[in-house]
Amino acid sequence: MSEIQVLKPLKTWSHLATRRRKPSEYEIVSANLHYNDKRPDSPYELSPDMFMNTWYKKNTFGTALKHADWNAFRDPDEVVYRTYNLMQDGQETYVFGLFDQFNEREHDKALDPRWAGTLARLYTPARYLFHTLQMASAYVGQVSPASTITNCHYFQMADSLRWLSHTAYRTRELSQVFADKGFGVDERRYWEEDPAWQGFRELMEKALTVWDWGEAIVVLNLVVMPAVEEAVLRRLGEAARHNGDTLLGLLTDAQLIDAARHRRWTAAFVAMALQTEGNLALIQSWIAKWEPLADRAIEAYCAALPDVPGAAEAAKAATRDLRRSLAL
């Protein structure tokens, strides 16, 4: 009679051992890494009444957006720090190759001065917008209840920093050709005072004061970012091509590659959230609350774009199509 074979546990990371296979690189460096969910009454040890503890208990674990195990979330692209750097090294090589090629061709000298004025007003001030996206992603990632969600936001944050850096680089280049357009000088004034930017400024300033993690992730990834992508990236890129600015069109295309990756993990997150009863109505209520602000931002910005008729309506429709595709 044969002996009953007792399976020995795999020698692996304890929190991944139940899968009974060698964990992937993504699982090892991404899954179940937070320690602040081990003690519900005191996420960061010390006194339960310490400020940081009360903050997380209220805004992370006290959110109305619930799931039995947020740690089960997985990024469909399984991006980790190593692969992010490999992937974006290629992207950066491409973008800076564009800078070099178009600079050699003296691209900026061929631009219409009127379009250069539009760039000074509607393109280079976007570094303020991209910085607010960076800050928003940083906060949502910091207070996320699962490390796999945190990582997605931190890579999203890094993308915003890259967008900001590219815009700053172009600001310097444009200032050397169009010294009279205020490049590198007037961006803050445009951001704070120009009607074209006030919708996005209001939207971002209010989004940055949403402390509740559930509402913050919905606002950022389902309302704010789609509005920015469809108006400030896609429609600005169209206007650029219509005005002989192929370089800016290619730059916005590169940014939209990042945006597509953000949308893939956002779709996975929404699908997971909708597994819990009550979350659909909750997410829809947050979208209904914030969508009018985003619409006004799109309308104000697109109204200033030249040579893109129907830009605002197309951009707003695209944001709704995205949410509809996610069963929202």
CA distances from 255 to 42, 55, 164, 166 (A): 40, 34, 11, 10
60 domain-assigned = no
In whole angstroms, what is the distance from residue 168 CA to residue 306 CA? 22
In whole angstroms, what is the distance from residue 126 CA to residue 201 CA? 10
153 domain-assigned = yes
Q: State the total domains in the chain.
A: 2
4 domain-assigned = no
Q: What is the mean pLDDT for each group of 10 consecutive residues in the chain (328 residues)?
A: 57 58 86 86 86 92 96 97 96 97 97 98 98 98 97 98 98 98 98 98 98 98 98 98 98 98 98 98 98 98 97 98 98
Same-domain status, 23 and 89: no
pLDDT at residue 87 in the model = 95
Main-chain dihedrals φ then ψ at residue 13, nearest 5 degrees = -70, 130
In whole angstroms, what is the distance from residue 123 CA to residue 237 CA? 10
pLDDT at residue 2 in the model = 56
1 domain-assigned = no
pLDDT at residue 15 in the model = 59
Q: Are 266 and 221 in contact (CB under 8 A)?
A: yes
Same-domain status, 37 and 154: no
pLDDT at residue 251 in the model = 98
Main-chain dihedrals φ then ψ at residue 39, nearest 5 degrees = -125, 95
19 Cβ neighbours under 8 A, 6+ residues apart: none
pLDDT at residue 301 in the model = 98
Q: Residue 21 region, left (φ>0) first, then alpha (ψ -120 to 50), else beta?
A: beta
Same-domain status, 47 and 192: no
Same-domain status, 197 and 285: yes
2 domain-assigned = no
Same-domain status, 23 and 161: no
Same-domain status, 87 and 46: no
103 domain-assigned = yes
Same-domain status, 40 and 143: no
pLDDT at residue 83 in the model = 96
The CATH number for 210's domain is 1.10.620.20
CA distances from 305 to 24, 115, 221 (A): 46, 10, 24
293 domain-assigned = yes
Domain span at residue 43 reads: 14-52
266 Cβ neighbours under 8 A, 6+ residues apart: 221, 222, 326
Same-domain status, 47 and 195: no
Same-domain status, 224 and 265: yes
Same-domain status, 154 and 181: yes
- For residue 8, how many C-alpha atoms fall within 13 Å in the half-sphere facing its CB? 3
pLDDT at residue 41 in the model = 85
Same-domain status, 20 and 111: no
pLDDT at residue 23 in the model = 83
Same-domain status, 190 and 245: yes
For residue 291, give the nearest of 268, 259, 324 by alpha carbon. 324
Q: Are 123 and 236 in contact (CB under 8 A)?
A: yes
For residue 236, give the nearest of 304, 182, 160 by alpha carbon. 304
246 domain-assigned = yes
For residue 251, give the nearest of 98, 136, 32 by alpha carbon. 98
